A and B are shown apart, each in its own frame.
Chain A
Amino acid sequence: MIAVENVSKSFDGGASFAVRRVNLRVPARTFVAIVGDSGSGKTTLLKTINRLIEPQEGEVLIDEEPVRTVAPHTLRRRIGYVFQGIGLFPHLSIAENIGITPRLIGWPEPQIRARVEELIDLVALPRSYLARLPSELSGGQRQRVGIARALAARPYIMLMDEPFGALDPVTRDALGAEYRRLHESMGLTTLMVTHDILEAVLLAERIVVMRAGNIVADGEPHDLLSGHPDPEVRTLMDMPRRQAERVRALLEERARD
């Protein structure tokens, strides 16, 4: 259970706020998508959870424990983190990249090796890739490694910041679906920041909409799709439906011909 309580963060000494008095509770094993325009504060909110950003006010708790009482590196070893830039270490092999967090924690080598092999299978890459360097992989393959690396030390929370943002649509769709299966089978709690509403609707069981540092909507995809008092949220949530309707219309037109 992740609890964000009254969290505020300003990057300019209080003149403006990236997030302002935000409250959010995420029960274990949920998949939450955070959507909103760029600058709405969704990345800042995500980073306060693994202390990549420290809030000025409020508190983040994981299982009732305030995160500020845990050393940042210890906290981060318990939380998987995947972001658009991926950030694979270019001087380390794929195997070393995946095994980095277990190695930092001090797992025995045979156990690390076994875990790395398990993970490369899990993200559907051939084991022969383990000896390669990141530069020898495609973008989609690299992000698979990024996910494997985040999962290596068996975290139960995953923070994902536009994880599939730089991928082509086909890879993006496939990887999203695969990750959703991993989320289920491993019993993870996932918070995913995305600006793609369709992706949020298809993957998450709950969608949080942010605007100007505030949460303006929070609910199940189905509920949000069927209407919301806030006009902007309505417009936002209408988009996937309109797109779906257009596609359906096209297909029906085609069938009539």
Chain B
Amino acid sequence: MTERLSSALRVLPDYLSQHVLLSAASLALGLLVSVPLLIAARRSARVRWPVLAVASLIQTVPSIALLALFYPLLLGLSSLCKHLFGVGFSALGFLPSLLALTLYSILPILRNGITAILNLDPAILQAASGVGMTDRQRLLRVELPLAAPMLMAGLRTSAVWVIGTATLATPVGQTSLGNYIFTGLQVEDWVWVLFGCGVAVALALLTDQLLALIELGLGRRRPRLAWTGLGLLLLGVAAAAAVPLRAGRDAGYVVGAKDFSEQYILASLISSRIRAQGYAVRERTDLGSVFAFRALAANEIDTYVDYTGTLWTNILHRTDMPGQRRMLRDLSVQLRRRYGVVVLGPLGFENAYVLAMRRGEAARLGIRTIQDLARVAPSLTIGGDLEFFARPEWRMLKERYGLHFRAERSYEPTFMYKALMSREVDVITAFSSDGRIAADHLVVLKDPLHAIPPYDAVVLLSPKRASDPVLRRALEPLIGAIPIKLMRHANYMVERTAAKRTPSAAARWLAKAAHLH
């Protein structure tokens, strides 16, 4: 418990400051966009209607989809930019998060502002014209000041939304308080999940209260209150900006990780080995499966571990299934040629998709292979992780074995195992290196027709670090050094409920057990 809490506290300055900077930038940009829109919309219903309609429409797009959709858009823009001006920009991390959150922040500000201005007393507006105000003076001296309290209320709503939604920036590669939540969810560390939620809630409440102070100062004509609120807000942002500036100076290597336990452990292992060489390391965890490789190819991260089958189908878009050795060889050649990415070598274990069942159930139904399963599948329910049923492996499994289930259900991996144990589903798509297979006494079904490609864990290096001596010296000893049993146990240490360890503790255990020095 204390180990987990102290590990959470250690990354707090990084997570919190990035979260604050992202939220503040989005809100500021949102305000910058919505106030001119508000001014344009206040007089003309022809502007007002479409502006509000678009803002409302944006609000209905699920936030995680909005965040993800900016990635391909920015990727296109970036390559266009590179083509035209010779300079590209990162389509991952801060930029897509900023744009998506900005779009989210607009509606409450805009809607409150328009409502406030439309509901102003006509007598006051007539008086404003009557005393000789120009349109601009009327806006600045009468309409905006009178609409200010409601505008501030809109800004407060926006702030709370943005701070909450910013946690979803984690999967597109932007560090935020969401890292606690995503990591915690993956390794079933509720301390981390609660910690992340708690800090996000506290941040939202604090911001809301400071904005309320400004609102009060404006409403009661007490400028000192308003300035105090604004000052404290700016101070918070400045403090957040100071953290990465300080860290930025010694930022050396960046190690990436996708969003599950094994990835956290391996990232930690890799980091500690680079550190042992005397270099600074930063980790960027919880990258979405596709984002991780893109980030590597764009030199935003220097190294991470991926799996041959995933790269084969998702990156090279291949559907043929050569053997384990040929796949590795072709992959090395193709990734190098197309992306400049180096496959340093396999770690020595596979993390393949496998179909797993409860031992008792499998014995009762006499199922040992997927062929056996196909016979009774129509009366069974299968549970998969969130992406599995959209993956080519699933299509190939169904084709090769003629699989057909009564129902298919998708889960967060953590909950998928729970669903199997509580008999909500009969079969799950587990991972072969998963610690829970042994812990939950599951049976892995054999795949005699080789429908599922090999998933050797391989260490990848970014184009920039292709022949970096430090990385090679640190990482080459890992090649072929980690057997499946050790990886499974390390994963289990992190995922189990009792005597739960942090990923870095598991990485230390793994290094020792694998005799890595």
In contact, B132 and A73 (Cβ under 8 angstroms): yes
The distance in angstroms between the C-alpha atoms of A50 and B132, with both chains bound, is 10
A85 within 8 A of B: yes
In contact, A76 and B132 (Cβ under 8 angstroms): yes
Closest to B125 in A: A87
B422 within 8 A of A: no
In contact, A85 and B126 (Cβ under 8 angstroms): yes
A33 within 8 A of B: no
Given the interface contacts A91-B145, A91-B146, A104-B137, does A83 sit within 8 Å of B126 by beta carbon? yes
CB distance from A197 to the nearest CB of B (A): 25
Q: Mark A91-102, 1 if CB is under 8 A from B, else 0.
A: 100000000110
CB distance from A96 to the nearest CB of B (A): 10
Given the interface contacts A73-B134, A104-B132, A104-B137, does A90 sit within 8 Å of B126 by beta carbon? no
Given the interface contacts A91-B146, A104-B137, does A77 sit within 8 Å of B132 by beta carbon? yes
In contact, A87 and B121 (Cβ under 8 angstroms): yes
Cβ–Cβ < 8 Å partners of B121 in chain A: 85, 87
B427-480, CB < 8 A from A:
none
In contact, A81 and B146 (Cβ under 8 angstroms): no
Central interface residue in A90, A105, A153, by most chain B CB within 10 Å: A90
A7 within 8 A of B: no
> Quick one: which of B124, B141, B145, B221 contacts A87, CB cutoff 8 A?
B124
CB distance from B120 to the nearest CB of A (A): 10
Central interface residue in A81, A87, A90, A101, by most chain B CB within 10 Å: A87
Cβ–Cβ < 8 Å partners of A85 in chain B: 121-123, 126-127
CB distance from A26 to the nearest CB of B (A): 19
A89 within 8 A of B: yes
Majority-rule SS of B interface residues? helix
Cβ–Cβ < 8 Å partners of A72 in chain B: 129
The distance in angstroms between the C-alpha atoms of A74 and B137, with both chains bound, is 13
The distance in angstroms between the C-alpha atoms of A50 and B128, with both chains bound, is 13
Cβ–Cβ < 8 Å partners of A75 in chain B: 132
The distance in angstroms between the C-alpha atoms of A76 and B133, with both chains bound, is 8
In contact, A90 and B124 (Cβ under 8 angstroms): yes
> Quick one: which of A89, A104, A153 contacts B124, CB cutoff 8 A?
A89
The distance in angstroms between the C-alpha atoms of A52 and B123, with both chains bound, is 13
Chain B contributes a number of interface residues (CB within 8 A of A) equal to 20
Given the interface contacts A89-B142, A91-B145, A104-B137, does A81 sit within 8 Å of B131 by beta carbon? yes
The distance in angstroms between the C-alpha atoms of A131 and B208, with both chains bound, is 31
In contact, A83 and B130 (Cβ under 8 angstroms): yes
> Quick one: which of A74, A77, A86, A91 contacts B127, CB cutoff 8 A?
A86
Given the interface contacts A87-B121, A87-B124, A89-B142, does A52 sit within 8 Å of B130 by beta carbon? yes
Cβ–Cβ < 8 Å partners of B131 in chain A: 76-77, 81, 100-101, 104, 149-150
Cβ–Cβ < 8 Å partners of B221 in chain A: 91
Q: Mark A62-86, 1 if CB is under 8 A from B, else 0.
A: 0000000000111111000101011
The 8 closest A-B pairs by CB, nearest first: A87-B127, A85-B123, A77-B132, A81-B130, A76-B132, A87-B123, A73-B134, A73-B132
Jot down 23 A-B pairs with beta carbons below 8 A, ordered by A: A72-B129, A73-B132, A73-B134, A75-B132, A76-B130, A76-B131, A77-B132, A81-B127, A81-B130, A85-B123, A86-B123, A87-B121, A87-B123, A87-B124, A87-B128, A88-B124, A89-B128, A90-B124, A90-B146, A101-B131, A104-B131, A104-B137, A149-B131
Task: Please name 5 further chain A to chain B contacts, defined as beta carbons within 8 Å, in addition to the given A52-B129, A74-B132, A85-B121, sorted by A numbering.
Answer: A75-B132, A85-B123, A86-B123, A87-B123, A100-B131
